[in-house]
Amino acid sequence: MIEAAVMGFGTVGGGVVKVLEENAGIIRRSVREGIHVKYILDLREFPESPYRGRIVHDVDTILNDPSISIVCETMGGQGAAYKFTKAFLEKGISVCTSNKELVAAKGPELMETAKAHHCSYLFEASVGGGIPLLRTIITGLPQEDITSVTGILNGTTNYILTKMEKEGTGFDEALKGAQENGYAERDPSADVEGYDTARKIAIISSIVGGGTAAFEDVHCEGITKITPADLHCANALGCRVKLLAVMKKQESGKYSIITAPFLVPAGNALYNIDDVFNGILIHGTMVDDVLLGGRGAGREPTASAVVSDVIDAAKNKGETVPCPWDGSKKLDVADYRTAKYRFFVRVPEEERAAAAGAFGDITEVSEAEEKEFSFVTPELNETEFAGKAAGLTILSRIRML
Ligand code: HSE
Distances, alpha carbon 160 to alpha carbons 100, 185, 307, in Å: 21, 14, 28
Contact 71, 49 (CB under 8 A): no
Listing DSSP states for 13-56 in one string gives HHHHHHHHHHTHHHHTTTSTT-EEEEEEE-SS--TTSTTGGGEE
Direct distance between the N- and C-terminal alpha carbons of the chain, in angstroms, rounded to an integer = 50
Task: State residue 365's pLDDT score.
Answer: 79
What's the 190 CA to ligand 1 centre distance in angstroms?
Answer: 9
What's the 197 CA to ligand 1 centre distance in angstroms?
Answer: 8
Task: State residue 129's pLDDT score.
Answer: 97
Listing DSSP states for 306-342 in one string gives HHHHHHHHHHTTTS----S-EEEEE--BPPGGGS-BE
**Which residue in 244, 241, 245 sits closest to 255, CA to CA?**
245
User: Ligand 1 site: residues with CB under 6 angstroms?
Assistant: 129, 154-156, 183-185, 191, 196, 296-297, 302
Contact 98, 126 (CB under 8 A): yes
∠ CA 381-217-200, rounded to 5°: 105
Task: State residue 370's pLDDT score.
Answer: 85
Strands 239-249 and 255-265: antiparallel
Residue 163 known to be catalytic: no
Closest ligand 1 atom, CA of 156? 5
Nearest CA to ligand 1 atom 7: 297
Contact 197, 223 (CB under 8 A): no
What parts of the chain have a pLDDT lower than 50? none
Task: State residue 369's pLDDT score.
Answer: 79
Task: State residue 366's pLDDT score.
Answer: 63
What's the 95 CA to ligand 1 centre distance in angstroms?
Answer: 20
What's the 293 CA to ligand 1 centre distance in angstroms?
Answer: 14
Closest ligand 1 atom, CA of 197? 6
- Per annotation, catalytic residue among 100, 163, 200, 249: 200
Q: Global pTM? A: 0.96
In angstroms, the CA 199 to CA 216 distance is: 9
Task: State residue 49's pLDDT score.
Answer: 97
Closest ligand 1 atom, CA of 200? 8
